[in-house]
A and B are shown apart, each in its own frame.
Chain A
Amino acid sequence: MQEQTAARATVRHQDGLAIMDLPARIDGTAEQTLNDAYAEATQGDARRVVLNFSGVEFLSSTGIALIVGLLAQSRRDKREISSCGLSDHYREIFEITRLADFMRIYPDERAALAGS
C-alpha cells in the first residue's frame, strides 16, 4: 500500500477565532498538514483556535501526539485552543489521555462559536 499525504486541513476565520477543519486521517502522515494549518490559523489576530474533528475518521496515537504538540504550542502562544465535533469514541480517548482536562470540548462547531 502506498502511503499518501493526508488531505489538507482547511482554516476558516470567523468572529475573531480560527476554525481548523482537520483531515479525515490524523496519523504520522498528518504532521506537516497540521503544523501548516496551525500557522495559518494563528497568522491573524485570532486568540482562539478551534480544532474541528467532525471530518476525522481515523486518529492514531501518533495523531494524538500531534494534537498534544498543537496544545503545547498554543499554550506557549497564549492562545486558547478547543475542540469540537469529536465522536463519542475519540471523546473517550481525549478523556483517557486527559487531553479533555487541558482543552475545552464542544459537541459541535455551533457550540464552539457560542462559547466565544
Chain B
Amino acid sequence: MVTGRLRGMLGRRPEAAAVPRAPERQQPADAAPIDIAPNDPALAYFQSASGPVAIDDLQLDSPAVAEMRAAGVKLVVPLISQGELIGLLSLGPRLSDQEYSSDDRQLLEKLASQAAPAVRVAQLVREQEADVRARERIEQELRVAQLIQQQFLPKELPRLQGWHVAAFYRAAQEVGGDFYDFFELPEGKIGIVVGDVTGHGVPAALVMATTRSLIRSDAPRQVSPSAVLERANDFLESDIPANMFVTCLYAVLEPVSGTLRFANAGHDLPYVRRSDGSVVELRATGMPLGAMPGMRYDEKEATLAPGDVLLLHSDGVAEAHDPGREMFGFPRMRRLMAGHTEGQGLIDGLLDALHRFTGDGWEQEDDITLVTLSRGADVRAGDLMAADVAVGDVLAEFEVASEPGNERAVMERVAEAVRPLGIEGKTLERLKTAVSETAMNAIEHGNEQRRELPVTVRVTKQNGRLAIAISDQGGAKEIPEAETPDLEAKLTGLQKPRGWGLFLIKNMVDEMNVSSDGERHTVELVFDLAKAAKGGTNAGADRR
C-alpha cells in the first residue's frame, strides 16, 4: 500500500528537498522524486501537521503540492523524528479507487511514527559514509602532498670534510610547505636552501617542488645567491596561485674557507653560534618569492669559523604555542642555541625543549625544519692558523663608563691589545676607526651617556679571526641597518649631515655582527687576520 522511496532530508539542508513522486498505477516502483524548495509553504505545513494530509484538500500556494497533485499523489504522511520533518510517505490513490478510510489513516500514522526513527538512523549512516568518503579524499590528498614533499627532500646529507651536517624535518598533520635542499656547485662549493611555502596540501607541495627545481637548475650558472633568488622570484611570480608565496633562504658555502654567501627572500634569519657561545643572526633582506615581480635581494657574506654552528630553520619551532597560547619564540631558540656546541646536539636540544614547552598531546601546528652545519673546531683554515696555539685566546676584556670621549680610550686599549698580533698600518687604522665608532654608538645611543652604565669590550683571537665585541645595555633597542648615506642629499640639506657611523664601521671591518640578548646589545667587529697580514704591510703612509 505504501509505495515510493524516501530521498534526502526535508528541512535539514538548505538545498531543495525531495519527496518521491507517487507512482503511476502501472509502474508503481518507478516513482520519480518531487523536489520541495526550502521556502515552499508546504514544508512548514507538513512539519506541523498531525497525521496524514490529503493533498486534494490542501489550500496552499505551493509548487510542490501542485506537482504532487499532477503526479497523482493523494495522501502524504510526514515523517517526524525528534520534532524535525525528515521525509514524507506519499501515496497515490487506493487500488480500489476508494477514499482512504480513517483506519487506513491510523495505520499510516502509526507506520510513520515507527518508520521515522529508522529512516533518521539510515540518513545518519549515509551522512557518516559521505563524511568518511570526504575524509578519505582529504587523506589521499595529504598522502599525495607528503609523497611530493618527501620525494624532493634530500635523501642523504652532504659529507664535507671538516663539517658535520644534520637535518630534521617533521611535517605537521596537514603538511605545510617546508623544504630544504643541498646541492653541489662548481669549485667544491655547496648550495643550501631552506624554504617555506604558504598554505598546505598539494598546491603548496607543487609550488615547493617548482621552487626547488628553479633554484637547483639556476644555481650552478650563477655565482651570486641574490641573482638566483631574483630569477626564481620572477619565474614564480607569474605562475604561482594568488595569495601563495615562498619564503626562502639560499646560501653558498665554500667549505674550505668557511665563507658563506647568502640572500634571503623573507625567510627566518639563520643563526650562528660562535665557539665563544655568542649567537648572531645572519641578516639579509628581501621579499618572499612570488609576491611581487622585479624584486632585488640583499646579498651578504659571513665566515663560519672552526667551532661555529649554523642553524637554518623554519617557523615551526619558534611559532609553536604552549597550552597557555604562549609562543616558543626566537629569543628562546637563541638562548638554547648558546648552550650547544654541535649541530645534532642542538637539534635534539631544540626538539626536547619544544616538547617540554608544548607538553604531551600537542598537535604540531606547522612543519618543523632544522638544518645545522657545524664546522669542526680542529680544522685548519689555511697555513696562517698554524701559529694559533690556543683556540679563542682572550686578548683583552674591560669596561668603560658611558662618557663622551671614552670611545677614544676604548680605541687605544684595543689597539694596544692587538699589538702582539702584528696588526699595523692600514688595518690598524681601520680597526681604530671601527672600534671608536662602535664604542661611541654604545656610549651615546645604547647607554644614552648614562655614566653608570658600562660599555664592555672583549677582544678575542680565534683561528685566524680577530673579534672585538662591544656591548652596551640598550638591548631592547633596535640597531638600525647600516645604510649608505647619500652625500648629495646631505649637501642639499635633504638629509641631516650626520649618520655616517654604522656605514663607516661596516666599511672598516671584514664582518660586523649585531646581536642582542634582550638586555645587552653586542656589536662584534671581525677582522680576518690572513687578510690583515697582507693588507697591513702595504699601508706605509700612516703618521700615527
Contacts and interface: CB of A to CB of B under 8 A. Distances in A.
Interface of A: 1-3, 28-29, 57-58, 60-62, 64-66, 68-69, 71-72, 75, 87-89, 92-93, 96-99, 101-102
A96 B430 CA distance: 12
B407 interface: yes
Contacts of B539: 88-89
Nearest to A57: B544
B498 A97 contact: no
B507 A96 contact: yes
**Interface majority SS (helix, strand, loop, mixed), chain A:** helix
Nearest to B440: A60
B491 A61 contact: no
Contacts of A87: 429, 541-544
A52 B491 CA distance: 21
B490 interface: yes
A88 B542 contact: yes
11 contacts: A1-B403, A3-B403, A65-B499, A68-B491, A68-B497, A69-B497, A89-B426, A89-B542, A93-B504, A97-B504, A98-B487
B401 to A, nearest CB: 8
Interface in B179-234: none
Nearest to B498: A65
B146 interface: no
B405 interface: yes
A93 B497 CA distance: 16
Interface in B465-515: 485, 487, 490-493, 496-501, 503-504, 507
A102 B487 contact: yes
Contacts of B497: 65-66, 68-69, 72
Contacts of B492: 72
Nearest to A96: B507
B404 interface: yes
Contact of A61 (B404, B430, B437, B496): B437
B500 A97 contact: yes
Interface string B421-439: 0000010011001001100
Nearest to A54: B543
Nearest to B492: A72
Nearest to B539: A88
Contacts of B413: none
B7 interface: no
A55 to B, nearest CB: 10
Contact of A75 (B426, B433, B491, B498): B491
In order of increasing CB-CB distance, the 10 nearest A-B pairs are A89-B429, A61-B500, A65-B497, A61-B501, A65-B498, A68-B497, A88-B541, A98-B487, A72-B491, A3-B405
Contacts of B285: none
Nearest to B544: A57
Contacts of A66: 497
Contacts of B544: 57, 87
A72 B495 CA distance: 12
B394 interface: no
Interface in B388-432: 403-409, 426, 429-430
A81 B480 CA distance: 33
Contact of A99 (B408, B487, B493, B507): B487
Contact of B408 (A58, A75, A96): A58
B493 A62 contact: no
Contact of B406 (A1, A99, A102): A1
Contacts of B487: 68, 97-99, 101-102
A28 B496 CA distance: 15
Given A57-B544, A64-B500, A72-B497, A93 B433 contact: yes
Contacts of A101: 487
A97 B504 CA distance: 8
B479 to A, nearest CB: 15
A88 B407 CA distance: 22
Contact of A89 (B430, B485, B491): B430
Nearest to A58: B408
A1 B405 contact: yes
Contacts of A99: 487
Given A93-B433, A102-B487, A61 B542 contact: no
Contacts of B496: 65
Contacts of B485: 97
A65 B542 CA distance: 23
B148 to A, nearest CB: 49
A19 to B, nearest CB: 19
B411 to A, nearest CB: 8
A72 B542 CA distance: 29
B271 to A, nearest CB: 29
A61 B498 contact: yes
A58 B542 CA distance: 12
Given A1-B403, A1-B405, A102 B542 contact: no
Given A87-B544, A101-B487, 20 more contacts: A3-B403, A3-B404, A28-B404, A57-B544, A58-B408, A60-B436, A61-B440, A61-B500, A65-B496, A65-B499, A75-B491, A87-B429, A88-B539, A89-B426, A89-B430, A96-B504, A97-B500, A97-B504, A102-B487, A102-B491
Interface string B243-261: 0000000000000000000
Contacts of B491: 68, 71-72, 75, 102
Contacts of A58: 408, 436
Contacts of B409: 1
Contact of B433 (A1, A88, A89): A89
A66 B496 CA distance: 11
A65 B437 CA distance: 13
Contacts of A69: 497
B338 to A, nearest CB: 32
Nearest to A64: B500
